[in-house]
Chain A
């Protein structure tokens, strides 16, 4: 059974990842950003600690929502950094690489865990969202297969 604290753990790791990546790309970001993300990751530690201390006091709904909110903030930061690279810094190539290697996997993994948690809790999801995820998965799989078979596709303008 999944615990809602998994979202806090995931988000905290996202902040740590952002911290390291923004440190590696420090020329493109304000200097304080990696340290701010470290503090944000420490807040995740606080989330987990509070959950552990008040496990018998907080009900599962409350624990889910504050952990989910923290995960949403983490994902919003990943997307925001992506947009910052694309729009503000106009580094399109870097933004594309970031999108493929950071934004998409993290968002996808997060959606997977949230849906899995919801499924185990007996929540019913609208059929449309499941359809959309399936269509998106098929589209990405198609693109990946196409690129794998013909790498020249990437170089075409």
Chain B
């Protein structure tokens, strides 16, 4: 109690009080600003539709086509090239800006080194615009290995104009000795800039 009285009787000058309050104000203000800043830096993930999206084309071989991904279940005939002229559309849904995209090889089964790879001669994904061929990603077989073209399995970026639809032409070919029922799975990514 006596100590409390001593503290109570301490007379602080106005300037000292102000200085103490100023220092605590700076402290509180800085802490508030730091917390607010950290709040503004919270990451946000907004669900939106892709700018370049897939849609089903007239010669769709089968499988699922969604906005952001598609799964094509194509066939391949021995000793004859099977062409799906318009397998799937790639549409730039941005009405104001053009966007660049490329095709990038992700994975393929059966993998290199297995004799079953010899059941295919080539599988080609050719991109066309309304008037002509633009670029392609090709898989050709050499004995038991897949040869990717362009090498590395990554095409260059190509600009698709605003509100424009391009399509992928799919060409498949198997050798005369191919075994019926063999399945090949290819995964390709469409990178959009």
Interface centre among B18, B28, B33, B42 (most CB of A within 10 A): B28
Q: Considering the chains assembled together, what is the distance between the CA atoms of A30 and B28 in angstroms?
A: 23
Q: Say whether B28 contacts A45, CB under 8 Å.
A: yes
Q: Say whether B36 contacts A20, CB under 8 Å.
A: no
Q: Say whether A45 contacts B39, CB under 8 Å.
A: no
Q: Considering the chains assembled together, what is the distance between the CA atoms of A34 and B17 in angstroms?
A: 9
Q: Considering the chains assembled together, what is the distance between the CA atoms of A53 and B29 in angstroms?
A: 19
Interface string of B7-39 (1 = CB under 8 A from A): 000000010011001101100110111011011
A-B contact count (CB 8 A): 61
* A26 in the interface (beta carbon within 8 A): yes
Q: Which residue of A lies closest to B44 (CB)?
A: A1
Interface string of B127-155 (1 = CB under 8 A from A): 00000000000000000000000000000
* B3 in the interface (beta carbon within 8 A): no
Q: Say whether B18 contacts A9, CB under 8 Å.
A: no
Q: Which residues of B contact A26 (CB under 8 A)?
A: 14, 17
Cβ-neighbour of A52 out of B18, B25, B28, B35 (below 8 A): B35
Q: Which residue of A lies closest to B36 (CB)?
A: A9
Interface residues on B, range: 10 to 19
Q: Given A23-B14, A24-B18, A45-B35, is A13 in contact with B42 using a C-beta cutoff of 8 Å? A: no
Q: Say whether B32 contacts A45, CB under 8 Å.
A: yes
* A55 in the interface (beta carbon within 8 A): yes
Interface string of A1-26 (1 = CB under 8 A from B): 00101101100110010011001101
Question: What are 5 A-B contacts defined by CB distance under 8 Å?
Answer: A13-B32, A19-B25, A20-B22, A23-B18, A38-B28
Q: Which residue of B lies closest to A34 (CB)?
A: B21
Instruction: Tell me the A residues contacting B by CB distance below 8 Å.
Output: 3, 5-6, 8-9, 12-13, 16, 19-20, 23-24, 26, 34-35, 38, 41-42, 44-45, 48-49, 51-52, 55
* B66 in the interface (beta carbon within 8 A): no
* B48 in the interface (beta carbon within 8 A): no
Q: Say whether A9 contacts B40, CB under 8 Å.
A: no
Report the minimum CB–CB distance from B31 to chain A (whole Å). Answer: 6
Q: Considering the chains assembled together, what is the distance between the CA atoms of A41 and B35 in angstroms?
A: 14
Q: Say whether A9 contacts B21, CB under 8 Å.
A: no
Q: Considering the chains assembled together, what is the distance between the CA atoms of A45 and B36 in angstroms?
A: 9
Instruction: Tell me the B residues contacting A by CB distance below 8 Å.
Output: 14, 17-18, 21-22, 24-25, 28-29, 31-33, 35-36, 38-40, 42
Q: Say whether A45 contacts B31, CB under 8 Å.
A: yes
Q: Say whether B32 contacts A12, CB under 8 Å.
A: yes
Q: Say whether B42 contacts A55, CB under 8 Å.
A: yes
Q: Given A26-B14, A34-B21, is A3 in contact with B28 using a C-beta cutoff of 8 Å? A: no
Q: Say whether B35 contacts A48, CB under 8 Å.
A: yes
Report the minimum CB–CB distance from B166 to chain A (whole Å). Answer: 35
Q: Say whether A38 contacts B36, CB under 8 Å.
A: no
Q: Which residues of A contact B24 (CB under 8 A)?
A: 38
Report the minimum CB–CB distance from A31 to chain B (whole Å). Answer: 9
Q: Say whether B17 contacts A48, CB under 8 Å.
A: no
Q: Say whether A38 contacts B25, CB under 8 Å.
A: yes
Report the minimum CB–CB distance from B8 to chain A (whole Å). Answer: 11
